[in-house]
Structure 1
Amino acid sequence: MISASNQQEYYQALLEKKSEYEGVFYVGVKTTGVFCRPTCPARKPKIENCEFFGTAEEALLASYRPCKRCRPLSHPNQVSDLVRLLVDAVEANPEKRWTNQDFQELSVDASTARRQFKKRFGMTFVEYARARRMGIALKQIREGHAVIDAQLTIGYESSSGFRDAFSRIMGAAPTRSGHHRVLRASWLDTRLGPMIAIADEEALYLLEFVDRRGLEREVERLRRRTRSAIIPGCTAPLRSIERELGEYFDGKLTVFQTPLRMLGSPFQTEVWSRLLQIPTGQTSSYGEIAATMGKPTAYRAVAQANGANQLAIVIPCHRVINANGELGGYGGGLSRKQWLLNHERAMGAGADN
């Protein structure tokens, strides 16, 4: 049963179409008989015509049918068939330079492709394909191939055009990129909304909700700190975390095994290591963590390190609350934090039975 205070909170989230509430609740509209996700673009009903549910199944059992506009039974921001088709086409020939003729052969409207990719990845399809090509060029240069060879491989006849395009995407001219590495970025759909994951071939560097405030700055800091190019793609750690997140949200996994790369000061990395020791279904306070580190007065510094964590869910900063029992802060939003804690308590209770 959802409390009256939560109903008021959920209704306000519905009015504001807050993406951080995706997966936290569903709303049944009594006047239409449909149920929606929080971000549904349809006209908002009055609160007296709303009925709130914790799961889509509860809404279905209450005789509501899924909304055709927001499709509450699918993942939020689910990949469209068009996006999947074009991503597969790029992977089949990542060195290809796309023309209008290529779109016509796939029976794809170029403007539609641009719009859908912009919504999905924050870049147009042409920018996506170009980033993929540049990743190949960067790898060749890093392996010792001549810049001119990399340039010709990905179809640039003009060296100046190649340098300009390379710099726009990678942040450095090709002749100065010898110490650069490549990090791959992948979009992951989850029960609580889409996340972005960034990894190399060995470990996961970043995992954040896409709508987290300041995410762009986080990604840019990561790029500068690692002196890496970040392009769309997939690696073993990205495949691993996608699988493990699915198992976690299904209530089947409590300990993540995906290798992690924690980039922080010695104090920050110690705090993050302490977070990993908080058992699933339990919480700790900033003061308690500071005390276990032998620095009982450093609770504010612990809170700052907690907020600087770039590996959401996996390094469970959501398990840290205020000493008075209040939730405290969370970059992904307090509604998600509460959902994660409730989810993990349920998993812990199931393990005890």
Structure 2
Amino acid sequence: MITAQTQVDHYYEMLVEKNSQYEGIFYVGVKTTGVFCRPTCPAKKPLKKNCEFFDDAQEALLAAYRPCKRCKPLSAPSYLTEDVQRLVDAVEANPERKWTDKDFSSLAIHPNTARRQFKKYFGMTFIEYSRSRRLGLAFKHIRQGEPLIDAQLEAGFDSGNGFRDAFAKIMGDLPSNSKEKTILYSSWLETKLGAMLAISDHARLYLLEFVDRRGLETEIMVLRKRLNASIIPQQTSIIQQLAAELTEYFNGQRTTFTIPLAMIGSPFQQQVWQQLQQMKAGETYSYKQLAQAIGNEKACRAVANANGKNQLSILIPCHRVINSDGTPAAMAVV
């Protein structure tokens, strides 16, 4: 079984080896220096305990790391154009600066060139890159418990409203005191059945859902409200473990999961979800059978409602519950 720690160990081994085959697979943030690097960076390797691994550069930026000047992690395998390199250097010279189209004239670069070339190399626009750097700095200050006004000014936001709007797009509603908020972390996962969104803290998984599911925004809003939570786009060890186990599951190498789950719901809903977790691979229930299994045969409608409220797709196999309407009969409950 591939665990989150196993993946960290493997990535660290590849980092020490400077294995070029892992270019683009991960980036490493070095806690002691505040920079993030490619796997092949020629700099002296940090201790494992001082490393954080990220799937892409934007995650590292939002975690408040800046690009390494030696390995240039924002450079594509081929050399950057002069215009793109000039833009990267300009942001790093003043990461708190808020860029607009008018500012490009000072660099003798056309705004359309900045958007097109940045998107080509990095998968995000120049404005998205500079905003990620600014918000990453803000997240760092807030996680350290500093006053919000300091985070706002350090991130280059003169307007409190502007800062709150930018912050809310990623973290959710901004608290008046960030220490009163629960901080959750989200990450986009690609699977054989489509893209999924995972949300966790550092101990448990709270949500796993396909991004095209109708009502996903409502699910996230309900989760944030129940937990008084804000959500930061960042991978945790829980999400890294989840990604590895999902890969094994979809490759037919795994039938059960070991991810610790946070099942947020009523006692009845949790009872239904716990029963679903007892199902064997390939087994299905009708709503009636599921109600019988929890000892309440008349609760079919409530069972169906609980099934629909499941926020942990695949791991709690609500997709195996079928209607008693002429479809193939479910296997007997064991």
Distance 1:220 1:117 in 2: 26
How far apart are 1:112 and its partner, in Å? 6.2
Task: Flag structure 2 segments of 5+ consecutive residues without an equivalent.
Answer: 1-24, 26-54, 68-91
- Corresponding residue of 1:138: 142
RMSD: 3.7
How far apart are 1:150 and its partner, in Å? 3.0
Q: How does 1:35-114 map to 2 (within 5 A)?
A: 84-88=56-60, 90-91=62-63, 92-93=65-66, 96-97=95-96, 99=99, 109-110=114-115
Residues 295 and 88 of structure 1: CA distance in aligned 2, closer, same or farther (over 3 Å) = same
How far apart are 1:113 and its partner, in Å? 5.2
- Corresponding residue of 1:181: 182
Distance 2:201 2:168 in 1: 21
Task: Flag structure 1 segments of 5+ consecutive residues without an equivalent.
Answer: 1-77, 329-340, 346-353
Residues 256 and 213 of structure 1: CA distance in aligned 2, closer, same or farther (over 3 Å) = same
- Corresponding residue of 2:288: 287
- Corresponding residue of 2:276: 275
Distance 2:284 2:217 in 1: 29
Aligned partners of 2:174 and 2:230 also within 8 Å: no
Aligned partners of 2:59 and 2:234 also within 8 Å: no
One-letter amino acid of the structure 2 residue matched with residue 270 of structure 1: Q
Aligned partners of 2:175 and 2:181 also within 8 Å: no
Aligned partners of 1:114 and 1:124 also within 8 Å: no
| 1:269 alignment partner, SS class | helix
Does 2:210 align with 1:209? yes
Q: Give the 4+ runs in structure 1 shifted more than 6 A.
A: none
Deviations 1:125-181 (A, max 9, x none): 5665555444334323xx3x3334433443445656545644565444553443112
Deviations 1:48-100 (A, max 9, x none): xxxxxxxxxxxxxxxxxxxxxxxxxxxxxx9xxxx945555555329944747
Deviations 1:167-203 (A, max 9, x none): 5654445534431121111000001111010111111
Distance 1:327 1:188 in 2: 32
| 1:208 alignment partner, SS class | strand
Does 2:317 align with 1:316? yes
Aligned partners of 1:114 and 1:126 also within 8 Å: no
Distance 1:165 1:232 in 2: 13
Aligned partners of 2:185 and 2:234 also within 8 Å: yes
Residues 290 and 129 of structure 1: CA distance in aligned 2, closer, same or farther (over 3 Å) = farther
| 2:281 alignment partner, SS class | coil
- Corresponding residue of 1:257: 258
TM-score (norm 2): 0.61
How far apart are 1:223 and its partner, in Å? 1.3
One-letter amino acid of the structure 1 residue matched with residue 142 of structure 2: L
How far apart are 1:319 and its partner, in Å? 1.5
Aligned partners of 2:205 and 2:262 also within 8 Å: yes
| 1:187 alignment partner, SS class | strand
Q: Which moved more, 1:160-169 or 1:292-301?
A: 160-169
Distance 2:203 2:268 in 1: 24
How far apart are 1:234 and its partner, in Å? 0.9
| 1:175 alignment partner, SS class | coil
TM-score (norm 1): 0.58
**Percent identity (aligned):** 42
Aligned partners of 1:167 and 1:174 also within 8 Å: no
Residues 163 and 207 of structure 1: CA distance in aligned 2, closer, same or farther (over 3 Å) = closer
Distance 1:327 1:306 in 2: 19
Aligned partners of 2:186 and 2:199 also within 8 Å: yes
Aligned partners of 1:170 and 1:229 also within 8 Å: yes
| 2:259 alignment partner, SS class | coil
Aligned partners of 1:183 and 1:199 also within 8 Å: yes
